[in-house]
Copies of this chain bind each other. A is one copy, B any other.
Amino acid sequence: MTDRLNHFTVVDDCSRSQLEQLLELAHEISLDTRAFENTRTGRMLVNLFYEASTRTRVSFEAAAKRLGMHVINISATGSSVEKGESLIDTFYTIQAMGPDCIVVRHPEEGNATKLAELAEPGVHVINAGDGTAAHPSQALLDALTLKQSFSDFSDIRLVMAGDILHSRVARSAIKMFLTLGIGEIRLAGPPEFMPDDASSEGTAVYADLDSAVRDANAIMMLRIQKERISGLDIPDADQYHREWGLNAERLGLAAGGCRVLHPGPMNRGVEIASGVADGSQSRIRRQVRNGLYARMALILTLTRAQA
């Protein structure tokens, strides 16, 4: 494995030093965004989205445009995708337009990696979410958000809570934070939402949110899809909020100044109380802004001229 990053589809493909360089560059961009604008003028990024998305699509679009790139958006609705063309043929079609980056979101696991293997030299594939498997650029912005609060990843005692099982955000974040040497990851959520291999090297499973939160200095709440609550031993969203939601009282059990993260979009009053989401310890809006910086750093790194 060369140290050059060619695609960004799963966290496993990245070394610690590659991730640290990405975070360092994202941090520099956050300090002086204008200095990095228009450094990729005339290059092209294509957003190929087979699932609806505002925040991720717009974040990549804004990042690329800030860099001076052309952006072409393709969504599965209103496209020849509907005429039954295969994902691979669509990919070749897009690749033939001469893009520098192709950002792919697809409901099935592993597709971004499969496309990366078909990419020509000079075409860089970025995974913007594949099924419940991975969402590595979200993990990158989460890592940047943590980096802004902690001088060292080993100081972090992070709680990740909610629907771990179906969360590509959780899967990529756990992998990335462990690679970056995080101190501790505590997982908490309804047993039905906990993967079999949840308790593993570097992660521990907690039976309830109160004990997980105690003494933690960072908490990442995951989005719960309301329709999934019906599969639980929990009657409704209110009850879910009481048992697994982050409210002010529960946050009070954590270490002083504990940071609160959420990948969004939030269900206020379900997995997180509004007061916490908008409170002084929340870094949720900061995460969105960091998404811009992290994706600018990612695009810059992938499209860097070969030495």
Interface: A264 (CB within 8 A): yes
Q: Given the complex of chains A and B, what is the CA–CA distance between A268 and B77 in angstroms?
A: 22
- Chain B residues with Cβ below 8 Å from A292 are 96-98
Judge whether A98 and B33 touch: CB under 8 Å.
yes
Interface: A250 (CB within 8 A): no
Interface: A200 (CB within 8 A): no
CB distance from A33 to the nearest CB of B (A): 7
**Given A70-B65, A80-B265, A54:B93 Cβ within 8 A:** yes
Interface: A288 (CB within 8 A): yes
- Chain B residues with Cβ below 8 Å from A85 are 54, 264-266
Judge whether A55 and B93 touch: CB under 8 Å.
yes
Interface: A83 (CB within 8 A): yes
- Copies of this protein chain in the complex: 3
Interface size on A, residues (CB 8 A): 51
**Within A55-108, which residues are at the interface with B (CB < 8 Å)?**
55, 58-59, 61-62, 65-66, 70, 72, 74-75, 77-86, 89-90, 92-94, 96-99
**Given A93-B54, A96-B285, A42:B38 Cβ within 8 A:** yes
Q: Given the complex of chains A and B, what is the CA–CA distance between A54 and B89 in angstroms?
A: 12
Q: Given the complex of chains A and B, what is the CA–CA distance between A289 and B264 in angstroms?
A: 38
Judge whether A62 and B80 touch: CB under 8 Å.
no
**Within A92-139, which residues are at the interface with B (CB < 8 Å)?**
92-94, 96-99
Q: Which of B58, B83, B94, B226 contacts A265 (CB 8 A)?
A: B83
**Given A38-B42, A62-B44, A75-B78, A93:B264 Cβ within 8 A:** yes
Interface: A24 (CB within 8 A): no
Q: Given the complex of chains A and B, what is the CA–CA distance between A265 and B81 in angstroms?
A: 9
Judge whether B79 and A52 touch: CB under 8 Å.
yes
Q: Given the complex of chains A and B, what is the CA–CA distance between A83 and B56 in angstroms?
A: 13
Binding site for B on A (CB under 8 A): 33, 37-38, 42, 44, 46, 52-55, 58-59, 61-62, 65-66, 70, 72, 74-75, 77-86, 89-90, 92-94, 96-99, 226, 264-268, 285-286, 288-289, 291-292
The 5 closest A-B pairs by CB, nearest first: A85-B265, A96-B288, A54-B79, A54-B80, A65-B70
Known: A44-B62, A62-B70; 12 extra A-B contacts, CB below 8 A, are A52-B79, A52-B83, A53-B79, A58-B72, A58-B74, A61-B72, A84-B267, A85-B266, A89-B268, A90-B265, A93-B264, A97-B289
